[in-house]
Structure 1
């Protein structure tokens, strides 16, 4: 079993932020914050796996009261360098069980992080925990990639997802158990530690959209909206990711 504290350790937390670039770019964050702010309305929001505050900090800056749950001590420490407890309250613990409060209008779990839970049972319990946090009619938003099994050549168990100067992402699949290991290869002369290459690996359990919807129903949610991205573009059979909005119908 993967030790998530070891996976998201001090080095990972310090290297996680890429200000102004990648998932920290304004082109990514601005529509994310806009949608979440609209869905939260006048109520408070809670982020599961808040990390270093990539989304929570700008969402707080938009006037939403934000709390969070985070397993990694190192990620929380990095968040605290940018925002104090008085601004964003964070509970250290497992997002399947930890409690950050109740009667939130919005809970959200972004950037594929529900897939860090490596069993179906854990993923179902995450939905149930979201329901415990929400007021009646509250929403749970999940951002998640769509498994690219159609890209697997016959007899091969992996795909190249990203290839650009200095970075290569290769995903290897265990289709029997719905597990993926993402291999992140950074290379070139610009590595801070002077090495020629650095390899990091992150495990996931992938979830089909239909399976995610069933998990939601088991926890008392119904699907309200699904888009291909935060720009609310149409979700189609060719979409590589989705933003799904679930509304709590039972408590």
Structure 2
């Protein structure tokens, strides 16, 4: 995996006013993860700056992280409680950490940052290798919105706000490749961040879980556990490693 979250991105990552940084959204996310951890420890793949890990740890769940970006971990370390969370620097498709966990989770579309199908399968295999029998793997990711593209178009704006515009450009529909473009207005210039991703369908993720030996337990439209429907724009999916 390539690291697209260097010092410049890490320095302003927590300044976002997007919905994933809304305290109410974070609270609902943590509520669900506390329940799914079921009194055990949790491993966050792509822990980042600790948006979810820190409040989850504050709720009494022991959290360990895997993170590719040293710059993002440096930001985590600057926060209250950040030094207490063990983090292994490495690729979440292959990096192993000591111990086993009741819960492994991967949030905020990060499975898409794994840009090939083979590597996404390896991510599932790495997750289950860290799970206790009966443990759970949770993924939060958007549903590909190709049907919302006008005929002949290859891009869709997903956010337009003062000082920020974001759009996804679909570059290869066969290999399921796309790039997110993020434009932010600074004091003297507009800065662009590009992050490639592989969009993936819920049914494809279920097959990856099956390859890894897990079974689908829940799929919700959001962290509020709303039903997942054909109109859902994202999903929170929970797969379980069999107890036997």
**Range moving further from structure 2, 94-103 or 212-221:** 94-103
Q: Point out where structure 2 has 5 or more consecutive residues left out of the alignment.
A: none
Name the residue aligned to 2:122: 125
Work out whether 1:223 is the aligned partner of 2:223. Answer: no
Work out whether 1:69 is the aligned partner of 2:59. Answer: no
Distance 1:105 1:32 in 2: 17
Distance 1:139 1:161 in 2: 30
Hey, which bits of structure 1, 4+ residues long, moved more than 3 A? 19-22, 83-86
Any idea what the Cα deviations from partners look like across 1:140-163, whole Å, max 9, x if unmatched? 000000000001111111111112
Name the residue aligned to 1:115: 112
The verdict on how the C-alpha distance between 1:21 and 1:233 changes in structure 2, with shifts beyond 3 A counting, is: same
Q: Point out where structure 1 has 5 or more consecutive residues left out of the alignment.
A: none
Distance 2:16 2:232 in 1: 27
**What is the deviation of 1:170?**
1.1
Work out whether 1:41 is the aligned partner of 2:38. Answer: yes
Q: Please, what TM-score do these two structures have when normalized by structure 2?
A: 0.95
How many pairs were matched up?
Answer: 243
5 Å matches for 1:1-251?
3-4=2-3, 7-18=4-15, 22-83=19-80, 87-173=84-170, 174-187=172-185, 191=186, 194-249=187-242
Distance 2:83 2:195 in 1: 32
Distance 2:137 2:165 in 1: 32
SS for the counterpart of 1:154 is coil
The verdict on how the C-alpha distance between 1:157 and 1:250 changes in structure 2, with shifts beyond 3 A counting, is: farther
Any idea what the Cα deviations from partners look like across 1:104-152, whole Å, max 9, x if unmatched? 0000000000110000010000000001100001000000000000011
Q: Please, what TM-score do these two structures have when normalized by structure 1?
A: 0.92
CA RMSD of aligned residues (A): 1.6
